[in-house]
Amino acid sequence: MSVLKSPPDSVGRPHSVERAERAKALPCIECPVKAQNVCQPLDEKRQRELYDTGKQQTWDRGQILFRAVDPAGPIFKIVSGIVAVSKRLPDGRRQILDFFFAGEICGYLERDGHYSFEGEAMTRVKTCSFNRAKFNAFATAHDDVSEVVRSTLAWKLESVSRHMAVLGQLTASERVATFLCRLSSHCEKQDVPIRKLALPMTGAEIADYLGIRLETVSRSLSELKQRKIIDLGEDIVVVLDPARLAELSGPDLLR
């Protein structure tokens, strides 16, 4: 298997676990996200069956997992790390539609044989990459799995709709505050319940997610710091006053 040179903009083949190695043991046993999403209802037998439809991959920050022009290939369950899914406009503008965290599935949506959007690793990312046809067949064959797919879609549709209201109605500073609240509530749910937030994405990426310029993001953050609501460190935000932050995010558009 020859390794291709990385095309210009930092796309490249990820490191794959070899078939032979896979046969040895089922890594799912130790998988940090085995209890999440489609894997949640699976016993060991079915887990192995699903695992055999895919392979594990590791991606470096900035690598593209899938592009909107590519024919729809595998779907990706994120084992660790963060993936940004975005829509690019021909003139260079882009809208980051959502950030996907460990346990979530991305690259699922397709449109006449192509990925609908683009997925990019915001950090080092580990994925289980399932063959699309086999995954769909697996889901069709198992009612509980397809129920998980359905509820995941419904949940995503809701959270994306909510973010639409952010883009359509909120001011720049409200958007930034909302973003921090969302990050914070996400961390509370799985990570340390501390109010030190790691910011794994750059200002430009936050800007593309919030539909504003990166300078505006920076200014809003500075203003929040000025007002002693947050403190800024190295790729870190410390929330000093969660209550006031929530106020500033205006309405309840969290999650």
Partner DNA sequence: CGTTGGGTTGAGCTTGTTCAACCACCGTGG
Partner DNA sequence: CCACGGTGGTTGAACAAGCTCAACCCAACG
Q: Which residues bind a copy of itself (CB under 8 A)?
A: 87, 89-91, 93-95, 97-98, 108-109, 111, 116-117, 140, 143, 146-147, 149-150, 153-154, 156-158, 160-165, 167-169, 208, 210-211, 250-253
Name which of 132, 116, 10, 123 is nearest 58 in CA terms. Answer: 123
Q: By C-beta, is 35 or 236 nearer to DNA?
A: 236
Q: By C-beta, is 80 or 216 nearer to DNA?
A: 216
Q: By C-beta, is 130 or 209 nearer to DNA?
A: 209
> How many CB atoms sit inside 10 A of residue 245's CB?
21
To the nearest whole angstrom, how small is the minimum distance from the Cβ of residue 127 to DNA?
22
CA–CA separation, 138 and 133 (whole Å): 9
| 244 Cβ contact list (under 8 Å, min separation 6) | 227, 229
Q: By C-beta, is 15 or 93 nearer to DNA?
A: 93
**219 binding DNA? (CB under 7 A):** yes
Q: CB under 5 to 8 A by kind: which of a copy of itself, DNA, none does 219 bind?
A: DNA
To the nearest whole angstrom, how small is the minimum distance from the Cβ of residue 144 to DNA?
41
How big, in percent rounded to 5, are the helix, strand and coil portions of the chain? 40, 25, 35
Q: 3-class DSSP state for residue 110?
A: strand
CA–CA separation, 202 and 36 (whole Å): 27
Among 85, 221, 246, 253, binds DNA (CB under 7 A): 221
**236 binding DNA? (CB under 7 A):** no
Residue 230's beta-bridge partner residues?
Answer: 239
Q: CB under 5 to 8 A by kind: which of a copy of itself, DNA, none does 128 bind?
A: none
**214 binding DNA? (CB under 7 A):** yes
Q: 3-class DSSP state for residue 82?
A: coil
Piece of the chain touching DNA by CB under 7 A; list 130-138, 139-147, 151-159, 171-179? 171-179
Q: CB under 5 to 8 A by kind: which of a copy of itself, DNA, none does 87 bind?
A: a copy of itself
CB–CB of 54/131 below 8 Å?
Answer: yes
| 32 Cβ contact list (under 8 Å, min separation 6) | 79, 80, 102
Instruction: Give the binding site for DNA (CB under 7 A).
Output: 171-173, 199, 202-204, 211-219, 221-222, 232, 235
